[in-house]
Amino acid sequence: MENLAFEVKNEEGFHIKPLTNLSKKLKGIDADVVINANGKESNIKSVLGVLALGIKKGDKVEFKISGKEEQKAKDIIVEMEKEGFEN
């Protein structure tokens, strides 16, 4: 299992466009990704579930990644975080 944690820097928090993009990038990868924020969690494949977490700028989020391709999933998330989850 891999864990990632960081503070959300995007002014809009986690919104539909980057979440949909992240979900698409992770589709087909043999890994389960759960995001935890504000004491709640959701599978990243559920865009609506993640939106329901209400993640805003400054919130701390944690990704729990498991599966055969967890490193590949982690790399995708790290790259998107570097871009500020802008796209």
| 31, part of any domain | yes
pLDDT per position as a tens digit, 64-87 = 999 999 999 999 999 988 887 775
| 87, part of any domain | no
- Give the separation between CA 15 and CA 50, rounded to whole angstroms: 9
Q: What is the pLDDT of residue 85?
A: 76
| CATH number of residue 46's parent domain | 3.30.1340.10
pLDDT per position as a tens digit, 35-46 = 999 999 999 988
pTM score: 0.87
The total number of residues shown for the chain amounts to 87
Closest listed residue to residue 62, CA positions, set 86, 83, 42? 42
Catalytic residue among 4, 10, 12, 15: 15
Angle 56-61-67 from CA coordinates, rounded to 5°: 135
Closest listed residue to residue 24, CA positions, set 80, 67, 82? 80
- Give the separation between CA 19 and CA 53, rounded to whole angstroms: 12
Asked if pLDDT for residue 8 goes beyond 80, the answer is: yes
Active site residue 14: no
The domain in which residue 20 lies consists of 2-82
